[in-house]
Each structure stands twice: as structure tokens, then as C-alpha cells.
Amino acid sequence: MGKITSTNSPSDPFAHAVDPVIDGALINWGRWNSARHGGRQVNAMFRMVKPSQTWDAAPVVIPVDIDKAWLAEKVICNPDFYPRARALLTNHYVFGVDQRDTCRRLGLHRSAYDEERWRSCYIFWNRYTRRGGT
């Protein structure tokens, strides 16, 4: 007997993959914006770890392009931007909220999360390129 698959999921697992250029612009915006909002939250399991108990890995610092991040902020915080897309992008790229929590907050079915994120990214990208972003 074969594996039972859902008819709701696309047959191609990369059907809703976001273009790396768009993803890079949103990651840049998220890193810039998360620093303004106090950074991403630390998992409760690691809150009690003393600094001497952490591993000695050298932190990789990737500089944030502030001009591109500011342009992305102007696009996403524009009142004309779709509110559900704004909330989804903010939860995903700035705060790193779990997909299940985001779906519950936005009233999305979990199987629609990737498609909605893909759609939100392209809504962002269309407005971003119209304002001169690359």
C-alpha cells in the first residue's frame, strides 16, 4: 500500500518558493527591523544559560544595507499595503514567529501558509521595485 498524500498540497514542493533576491531584501529588512524592536526572542529553554556555557563560535556579522531596509520599511508600513501581508511578513522576517502561531493569529490554514507568504512577498516586491528598489 502506498503513502497517502493530501490533495490540498501542491505536487511540486518548490511551487511556492520565494525568489532569493526578494527573500534577501526581506531578510535585510527583518534584521534591521528586529534590532529596532529588541531583537528576536530567545527560546525559553535557553534563557537560563550562562554566557560562560555558550560555545565559542565566532559570530558571523553580515552588514545590513540601511537604505534598502528603509525603503522596504516605507513599502510595508504604507497604509495601502495589504494588512494581512504586513502581519505575515513582520511575523516571519522580523520576529521569527512559528508558522503555527502566525496561522492562528491570521486565521490561515497551515497548508496555505507557504502560498500566502509567497503572495505577500510578491506584493511587497512589486511595490518595492516601483519605488526604485532592486
Domain parsing of the chain, residue ranges: 20-36+64-130
Percent of the chain scoring above 70 in pLDDT:
72
Q: From the options 1.10.10, 2.40.50, 3.40.50, 1.20.144, give the CATH code of 20-36+64-130.
A: 1.10.10
Which of 76, 68, 62, 65 has the alpha carbon at shortest distance from 134? 68
Q: Tens digits of per-residue pLDDT, 54-83?
A: 555 666 778 899 999 999 999 999 999 999
Cβ neighbours of 91 (radius 10 Å): 19
Q: Of the ranges 36-40, 74-78, 96-100, 129-133, which is most confident?
A: 74-78
Answer whether residue 44 shows pLDDT above 70. no
Whole-angstrom Cα distance, residue 100 to residue 119?
A: 18
Which of 17, 134, 129, 7 has the alpha carbon at shortest distance from 65? 134
